Every structure is written in C-alpha cells, then in structure tokens.
Homo-oligomer: A and B are copies of this chain.
Amino acid sequence: MTQSNDPAREAWELLWEVMQANKPRFMALAQELGLSAVQLHALRMIEPGVEVPMSSLAGKLFCDNSNVTGIVDRLEARGLIERHPAEHDRRVKLLVLTGPGERIRSSATRQMTQPPPEIAALPMEHKIALRDALRAAVHARAETSV
C-alpha cells in the first residue's frame, strides 16, 4: 500500500507500480517476436526511414558503444536492420530498418502503445487528467534539457 502526504511522491510510486505490472506483457511481446527485451528496445529506437548512428543508439539505450556492436550484430543477423557507412564520416555506421524490420517494429509499436486495461478502463476525466499532467511534465523536461 502506497501512503504519503506528498502527491508528487505518491504519484511517482504509483507510476512505478503501473510500469512494473506491465513488464510481463512487454516480455511476452518480445518473446512472441523472437527478440530479447533489449533487442526490442533497440528496434523501437530506430524509426522507419531514419538513419541512426551506432553511438546514437548507445545513447538511447544508456549503454556503451561496445555493447551496441553485439546487439546490432544480432538484429542484423535476423535481417531486421542494416549497417551503412556514413558518407560524410566513414568512421560512422548508420543503422536503418529493413522491410522485415519495419514490419516487426510496426507490430511491436502497435501493441506497446496500447494502454494496459487499468488505464484503458479509467473514466474519461481521469484519462484526460492523466494525459494533461504527463504532457505538462514531459513538456517541462523538454524545456530544461535544451
């Protein structure tokens, strides 16, 4: 049971709880697609038609470049992404989704962005309040991280 006098703190703890409860769904989705959790995250970070440098992917995954090499190796072996050398700097390798990669990512995105039952079943005024508060929070983050 969460209990606190500070609404922000309690909201934060509840937020963890909701995400925690959603973890099995995410893991099941990854397994269904034949991907590890990290591979699925990586795939999600590469948008269709957008070339992403390896180091940029490392940043998005909060891990080391040397780690990304292996993750990309496996996604490439599965035929989901490709490495292309950048023409402006030949040290850089750009990652792009393949056709199959786009399709799998699209399916993953469709399922992952579907809210879990406890959010979907909220009364409309709660949904809107939730959205508006989170919009404000994310907007604030974008402001400060410029």
List residues of chain A with CB under 8 Å of any chain B CB: 2, 7-19, 21, 23-24, 27, 62, 112-124, 126-138, 140-141, 144
Q: DSSP class of A's interface residues: helix, strand, loop or mixed?
A: helix
Contact of A134 among B112, B130, B135, B137 (CB under 8 A): B130
Could you show 26 A-B contacts with beta carbons less than 8 Å apart?
A: A2-B138, A7-B130, A7-B131, A8-B119, A9-B115, A11-B115, A11-B127, A11-B130, A11-B131, A11-B134, A14-B131, A14-B137, A15-B19, A15-B134, A16-B112, A17-B134, A17-B138, A18-B134, A18-B141, A19-B19, A23-B62, A117-B141, A123-B136, A126-B137, A129-B132, A130-B133
Contact of A127 among B21, B24, B119, B133 (CB under 8 A): B133
Q: B residues within 8 A CB of A133?
A: 122, 126-127, 129-130, 133
Given contacts A135-B14, A140-B122, contact A7 B114 (CB under 8 A): no
